[in-house]
Amino acid sequence: MRLSIPQPQFLKNLQMVEHAVNERSTLPILANVLLETSGNELTLTATDLDVGIQCRFPLTQAVEQGSVALPARKLTTIIRELPGEMIIFEAKKNHTATVNCGTSNFRIPGLPAEDFPVLPSMDGAESIRISQSALKNLVTQTAYAMSMEETRFILNGALLATQKNQLIIVATDGRRLAVASEPVSGKQTINVVIPSKAMRELGRLLQADAGDVEITPLKDNQLTFRFGQVTIVTRLIEGQFPAYDKVIPAPSKNTLTCGRQELTNAIRRAGLMTTATSQAIVFEITCDHLVVSKESAELGSAREELSVKYGGDAMTIAFNPEFWLDVLKILPSEEIVIELSGADRPAVVRQTGFTYIVLPMKVA
């Protein structure tokens, strides 16, 4: 196996796949990236057996066919440090590769390509299609609400489902819920739970100004996302996702309207006074007036007043500030409308194709 490739192109594609590598696995092969040449194309593949990422890209010069598995982190580190010139890459029959660029020469021992796990084939499987920008938007609007705790494994991911020509992604950690939808084409019915790692990789690799994504369910509880030169294969989380639609409140006429950035700044500043044992900040809401505050016996207090549009009953309600900051930074509008039904009832943000629910916190 022998090929020539510009250093910037090689590095860019290695960085696309290296996040799937698992260096802590008991299987040494999973710490490697598989390099394969076919025709004038180089394919890079990495997997931890739960999420696999494959990247194919054409080469401008003829190549010698072959394949080799090399330590992913070490290879990426070496390529990153090389000058932005043409790299001559060669893999020997003893699974050792040489990398030559300018005056730099490296020799890297590898493993047989035959030992590397084979990603599943998508031949003949039905797919649905959605633009990369739309899918990236869905992931951005929901991924932050996934649970990081291991007590309810089904929540360590996001529901991906088709419903009436819409693709829906739902994420919840039991204290907040994010639901987003976008139009989709294709007749394939999908109702699966995507692990958090696959969601993060989608958010990282999808391009807002590129083409479509093909989403294809496979056998053995797997799903693929194929877009541009990238394919992501993920195992799915088994189990029943909560009936999210049953916890979404009916629209409320009792609303608070305020500037998104002003609210973000006030919450961030009040959040400076939170501690690990006292996270709640307080919203005191009266007619056209909002006070965001936090008092801490350890750190002191913070208080900020905002002018808002509100005509309901006076209300005092406490929230985890991070639950608001996470959603405020991804909303595109300059104003935010929050539906409030009571101090012990969830607050709701509704926009076209997006719903966010956050539960209040109890304070002593």
**Domain boundaries, given as residue ranges, for the chain:** 2-115, 128-246, 255-358
**Fold of domain 255-358:** DNA Polymerase III; Chain A, domain 2 (3.10.150)
CB 129 within 8 A of CB 179: no
Question: Inter-axis angle of helices 132-142 and 196-205, to 10 degrees?
Answer: 130
Mean pLDDT of the chain: 93
Whether residue 363 has pLDDT greater than 80: no
Chain centroid to Cα 310, Å, comes to 35
Cα dist. 59→10, 33, 56, 316, 324 in Å?
10, 18, 10, 63, 46
Reported residue count of the chain is 364
Q: What is the pLDDT of residues 297-355, one digit of tens each?
A: 888 999 999 999 998 899 999 999 999 999 999 999 999 999 999 989 999 999 999 99
Tens-place pLDDT, residues 129-184: 999 999 999 999 999 999 988 778 899 999 999 998 899 999 999 999 999 999 99
| Fold (CATH) for 2-115 | DNA Polymerase III; Chain A, domain 2 (3.10.150)
C-alpha span between 292 and 38 (Å, rounded): 61
Q: Does domain 128-246 have CATH number 3.40.50.300?
A: no
- Residues 283-307 have a mean pLDDT of 92
Fold identical between 128-246 and 255-358? yes
Instruction: Name the residue among 54, 211, 203, 224 with its Cα closest to residue 132.
Output: 211
Given this model, what pLDDT does residue 105 score?
Answer: 96
What's the average model confidence in pLDDT over 111-121? 92
| Residue 364 confidence (pLDDT) above 70 | no
Q: Is 329 helix (H, G, I), strand (E, B) or coil?
A: coil
Per-residue pLDDT tens over the stretch 187-202: 889 999 999 999 999 9
The answer to whether the beta carbons of residues 172 and 242 sit under 8 Å apart is yes
Contact 128, 188 (CB under 8 A): yes
User: Per residue in 42-74, pLDDT tens?
Assistant: 999 999 999 999 999 898 876 788 999 999 999
- Average pLDDT (16-27) is 88
